Structure 1
Amino acid sequence: MRIISGFLFSLLSASLLLTPQFANAEPVAEQQAEKNVLAIVLKTRVTRADVMPSEKERKEIKAQAKESYGEMLNYLIRVNASNRIYELVLNDYAAQKGITLNQALVSKFTEKFGDQFSGEGASKSIEEVAAKQVMQYQAEKAMFKEFGGRVIFRQSNPQMPIDAYKALLSGYRESGQLQIVDKDLEDAFWSVFTPPFQYEIAPENIDFSQPWWI
């Protein structure tokens, strides 16, 4: 009986020692997940994993950047996260305005750039890229009509209504629908809207009557 009692006591002691570890496992995992959250947009979490460049891209970056790899990787993560924020907000804005995808423009984009997405290494299909570009154009056209302001040239967007973007995004932030959790991302994200701008388009040259690729 003493042996059995001692054995039971040992099991109980072990369970008391192990229980706190298992009890803390979930909060630790949750805390780690929270650290990886860069932003919350319309209740959607944008995490570091979501915007991490692919393994192939990371290898290419490492080969080129060498000692500056970490810095370059973090820069690309911020760029990808910013683009994800734009995408989520634009899609919501388009839905609110009742904007539907212009299939004729999608076809024109596909015809013009289809050859560039025919390789096996393409991460997205031409149809996906075309739909995204057309919806972006349609939303930006509506934004500029609503908010006006300055328009700038960027390599990734030849006609970006920068002031309209700032007005729209600020509205989402003030309503609590856009929260940028990561401080470095927050600073980089909002700095884009601070003048002076390198390439500001003259008002007389602004034209949203058709997309830049036509």
Structure 2
Amino acid sequence: MSTQFEVDGTRAERATIRVGVVDDEPMARTFVAKILGSAPDLEVVAEGANGAEALELVRTQNLDVLLLDLRMPGMDGLGALRELRRRPTAPAVVVLTTFHADQAVATALRLGAKGFLLKHVDPAELVRAVRVAARGGAVLDPTLTQDLMGHLASHHLDRLGAATEVARLSARLLDVLRLVGMGRSNGEIAGDLGLSDSTVRGYVSEILAATGCSNRVTAAVLAQRAGLLD
């Protein structure tokens, strides 16, 4: 099962989640569209085959979520993400990858992707991931997090190194980081620890600054790699 994370900021919810699928393989697009189309609250409104078409879909289709392959001819997924970073109203982007987490996936997370999934993800997990992304959350496929850790430039750490990194945090910040790694939302963390939502947001920001993690997703990877969830 994938792990779902709330991220700071929320997207306005509406009855139907509008999704774009961008992949240079027509069969992959058809497969994803068929799965998502079976859910009553999801609608694949547009498809594309490269990064340039992804940008056009975002410009014209008012998407909530964009499922994006990284390796495509012409402008690839990373090129599209770099452009989307400049747009204040870009949709949530979830990267689709084929085999394993590599440097391209790590770069995509730094460029603002809300998470990543294997292309052969279970259909129910794919539907759930799109819903979470539309709410402002992010998704990590747990089979990829260990590989990803080695490709995060700010954290070329083995398990011992990751544990040393988080050991600098206070006990309270470790509690928060552990719950982030478990996929808890800010509201859930606040309830578990008896804190306000604003206090939790402040703690998460402090964790990111102290560890050099670029976002909540990479902080969750660090928590897992450091053994906080064992």
> Is this a same-fold pair by TM over 0.5?
no
For the pair shown, the structure with the greater C-alpha radius of gyration is 1
* TM-score, normalization by structure 2: 0.22
* TM-score, normalization by structure 1: 0.24
Name whichever structure is richer in strand by fraction.
Answer: 2
Name whichever structure is richer in helix by fraction.
Answer: 1
